[in-house]
Amino acid sequence: MISGVMGLPKAVDPEVCDLGTSEAVEIPQSLALSYAGGFGEEGRDWIAGLPALVAELLERWELQRDGAVRSGEASLVLPVLRKHGTRAVLKLQMPREETTAALIGLRTWNGEGVVQLLDHDPDSSTMLLERLDGDRTLASIEDDDVAVGILAELQARLVRVPAPPGLRSLGDIATEMLAQVPQAVTALAHPADRQRLRGWGSAVDELVGEPGDRILHWDLHYDNVLAAQREPWLAIDPEPLAGDPGFDLWPALDSRWDDVVAKGDAVRVVRRRFDVLTEALGLDRARATGWTLGRLLQNSLWDIADGRTALASSSVAVAESLLNR
């Protein structure tokens, strides 16, 4: 999954493409390279057309630029002021299935626990969003119990909503994953990893017939919760999916992972986060464990497709923490 930014991100590549005019919007070179590498000629064409698209939308929506251009992994973010002085951001990302799903999700939630969609351009999938504080993510809260509690409350509000038409189904995704397991197992070098992957596949096989019907964020981790004015904290960057909320727990379990490992506290933290999340969402713990293993399976299949021959140590640690209780 590729995330964009709905607030103002912390890390930005200072280099920009030369657009030939000082008045044109700056395109971070990292974004240009990302699109060229990921989408080839289509991506380069989209990047080339960005300055004109931004100019057109600023005029159409009567917006005034209000800060430097920023970028996420796949989106350009421009802080703006609306005609009555309201602070907002333009988020531009090449139209794809993920951007369509994000628009469906944001319209469905209508600002309930998530950043508010103020306007959008259906042709380009550009979003005009309320501006949040991108320098204050949930990762800034040192007390992990407090942080996961805030995230759990937001997630409970999000998954309370039935999934609308037009989103991908977890049932379809799970079926596709199960079909990939036999071949993926052969790519793993260590017998223990092969056994784990088969086990995670078996867990999904037991649940695939009941995939759920809630709208899932699909990427709700600490860095995708920002401080706000309308509420203390709001979720950003959803990649909505229709399914069981148990499939949506892994990003929170894995949040700030390097810090968790450095403190030598992984098992306790994973179990504590899992307990807080399942209680807040009212989930059956065994079922939530199974779907979390499904999420680890999905991540591992992506890694194997990228050439990895071992399971991620974080995935193994999360699985072992939940299974060996």
Tell me which H or E stretch contains 269: helix 266-281
Q: Is the dihedral of CA 36, 168, 100, 118 positive or negative?
A: negative
Query: Of 161, 168, 153, whose CA–CA distance to 242 is shortest?
Result: 168
Tell me which H or E stretch contains 242: strand 241-243
Judge whether 248 and 271 are in contact, CB under 8 Å: no
C-alpha to C-alpha distance for 225 and 82, rounded to whole angstroms: 24
Cα dist from 19 to 33, 51, 98, 211, 319, whole Å? 15, 8, 28, 47, 48
Rg (CA), the chain: 20
User: Which residues are catalytic, by number?
Assistant: 219
Counting every residue, how long is the chain?
A: 325
